[in-house]
Amino acid sequence: MSPNRHGTLTRKSAQTCRSASFVGSPLFRQTNKELARRGLDFLDLDPRDPELLEMVTTRLSPLDESEVVQAQRAGECLVRDLFGRIGAMRVQMPLDPDLADVIHSDPEQARAEEGPGGEELIADGMEAVTA
């Protein structure tokens, strides 16, 4: 994978990188119950199960805790591995501040910051990652 001619990582190349390097299907906290149900269904879990729905909407990376606890529990999710097993996982934030900015990006912000040629910029000036 390489950045475009401007040295920027676009959404298409980021998706290619993500699918090549991440094994499994994660479901992070969803405050919207319908999105939580769809995520549970995607993991082949019962989207009508009230305990699972509560877990995804309130107990993963909880918002009603102190800032310290929120920071400690950020990145919690359910994940299905390649063998079909479901478990809890926590994604650590990268030490690289540019990558951390990408992870904390906002879809509305990204639409407002389209790159050259209509490609959405994900991160500017990043070096290419080759497989």
pLDDT averaged over 10-residue windows placed end to end, the chain, 131 residues: 41 44 77 95 95 95 90 91 89 83 71 59 48 42
Q: Residue 82 to residues 45, 52, 56: CA-CA distances in angstroms?
A: 15, 21, 21
Residues 87, 21: Cα–Cα separation, whole Å: 19
Q: What is the CA radius of gyration of the chain?
A: 17
CB-based contact 57:29 (threshold 8 Å)? yes
Indicate the pTM of the whole model: 0.58
pLDDT of residue 97: 86
